[in-house]
């Protein structure tokens, strides 16, 4: 994943080594450099539900830089559930009942059936690993794997891949990405300034009514990522076998998760560690963003009070809470 801009989503790009510094350039031109002293122009406000905004008004370009930050990550995971924060980051782009589906009324029962097949398969695999009696175990595992693949194909036929990202990219969005570390989860994108309201609406939509579609196929993507970056590299193997095993701290857990932990994660585990109930969609539990360390950081042509009016309309309703972040 790409790294996000620092200091509240403001990236101050350094020029080539031979160019003058911003301070000396400003002195030569006689004009103040807009990148200097930006801290004094930062505005902040907090909505009644606890969601915090940091706003940097900047009028020298018709571009808005948007950054959603949650003060939780792999450090917050429970033992035996590693890799969940990173998985939730991936699932944040999978859409809602209205976004990312051909027909959600037909898709929803397939997602439920996928969950049932996954947990049946997990139990059957555990029974085989434990050396259960008889030879039916491996046959049942093969049958359940085939069922899971069939249900995945049926659900995929009703999904619209990358609908969330495509909506932003059609609006001129660039740099759309997200990262997860031990301490934080971040989502970011830059857009034309007249598309700020679209970003606010989409961000609220995916936190208000997430759908964990493509969950099991996305897990396979992450598992392949682990094989490439960890299992097949000397440094990765060293970290897994020696360095991580020697540390008595939550920071020993790899962000991508331990293989055995990650394999066991299904929708139930994601529900249990997020602020949402209802199979990753529908009504939210809890009632506040407070305690999650969640904030939205925006560099925009608007003043803070102007953005606040938009945020109050979209984020403040009682059914809009944090979704794709682990409980702190």
Q: Is residue 1 part of a domain?
A: no
Instruction: Give how far Cα 12 sits from Cα of 35, 132, 190, 239, 320, Å.
Output: 7, 61, 14, 34, 33
CATH number at residue 292: 3.30.830.10
Are 91 and 115 members of one domain?
no
In eight-state DSSP terms, residue 51 is: -
Residue 323 is predicted with a pLDDT of: 39
Are residues 185 and 230 located together in one domain of the fold? yes
What is the model's pLDDT at position 31? Answer: 63
Same-domain check for residues 49 and 150: no
The answer to whether position 203 is within a domain reads yes
Q: Provide φ and ψ at 45, rounded to 5°.
A: -155, 160
pLDDT on residue 158 = 98
- Asked if 133 and 146 sit in the same domain, the reply is yes
261 and 303 within one domain: yes
The list of the chain residues with pLDDT below 50 reads: 2-21, 276-291, 318-328
Note whether 173 and 55 are same-domain residues.
yes
pTM of the model: 0.80
Q: Is residue 325 part of a domain?
A: no
How many folded domains does the chain comprise?
2
| 66 domain-assigned | yes
For residue 285, CA distances in Å to 19, 249, 277, 279 come to 54, 30, 6, 12
Q: Are residues 167 and 308 in the same domain?
A: yes
Q: What is the pLDDT of residue 293?
A: 58
Residues 6+ away with beta carbon under 8 Å from 265: 81, 83, 84, 87, 219, 257
Question: According to the model, what pLDDT value does residue 134 have?
Answer: 55
Query: Which of 158, 181, 199 is where one domain is finished?
Result: 158
Q: Name the CA radius of gyration of the chain, rounded.
A: 22
Structure confidence by residue, pLDDT tens digits, 231-274: 888 877 777 776 666 667 788 888 999 899 999 999 988 877 76
Query: Same structural domain for residues 230 and 299?
Result: yes
Does residue 9 belong to any structural domain of this protein?
Answer: no
55 and 35 in a single domain? The answer is yes
Domain that holds residue 222: 25-99+162-315
Residues 47 and 144 in one domain: no
Same domain for 144 and 252, yes or no, is no
pLDDT of residue 266: 95
Q: Give the number of other CB atoms < 10 A from CB of residue 307.
A: 22
């Amino acid at each position: 994943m790409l790294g996000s801009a620092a200091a509240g989503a403001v990236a101050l790009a350094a020029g080539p080594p031979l160019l003058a510094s911003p301070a000396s350039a400003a002195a030569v031109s006689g004009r103040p450099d807009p990148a200097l002293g930006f801290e004094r122009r930062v505005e902040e406000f907090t909505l009644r539900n606890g969601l915090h905004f940091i706003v940097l008004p900047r009028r020298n370009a018709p571009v808005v830089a948007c950054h959603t930050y949650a003060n939780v990550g792999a450090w917050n995971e429970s033992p035996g559930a590693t890799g969940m924060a990173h998985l939730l980051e991936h699932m944040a782009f999978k859409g809602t009942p209205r976004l990312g589906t051909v027909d959600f009324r037909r898709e929803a029962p397939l997602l439920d059936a996928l969950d049932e097949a996954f947990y049946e398969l997990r139990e059957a695999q555990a029974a085989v690993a434990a050396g259960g009696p008889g030879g039916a175990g491996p046959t049942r595992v093969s049958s359940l794997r085939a069922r899971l693949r069939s249900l995945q194909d049926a659900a995929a036929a009703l999904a619209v891949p990358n609908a969330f990202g495509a909506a932003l990219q059609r609006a001129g969005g660039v740099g759309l990405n997200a990262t997860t570390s031990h301490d934080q989860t971040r989502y970011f994108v830059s857009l034309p300034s007249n598309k700020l309201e679209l970003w606010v609406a989409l961000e609220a939509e995916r936190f208000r009514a997430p759908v964990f579609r493509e969950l099991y196929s996305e897990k396979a993507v992450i598992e392949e990522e682990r094989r490439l970056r960890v299992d097949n590299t000397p440094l990765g193997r060293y970290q897994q076998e020696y360095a991580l095993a020697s540390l008595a701290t939550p920071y020993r857990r790899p962000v991508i998760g331990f293989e055995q932990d990650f394999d066991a994660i299904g929708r139930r585990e994601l529900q249990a560690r997020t602020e949402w109930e209802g199979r990753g969609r529908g009504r939210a539990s809890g009632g506040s963003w407070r305690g999650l360390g969640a904030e939205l950081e925006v560099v925009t042509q608007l003043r803070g009070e102007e953005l606040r009016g938009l945020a109050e309309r979209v984020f403040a309703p009682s059914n809009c809470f944090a979704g794709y972040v682990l409980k702190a």
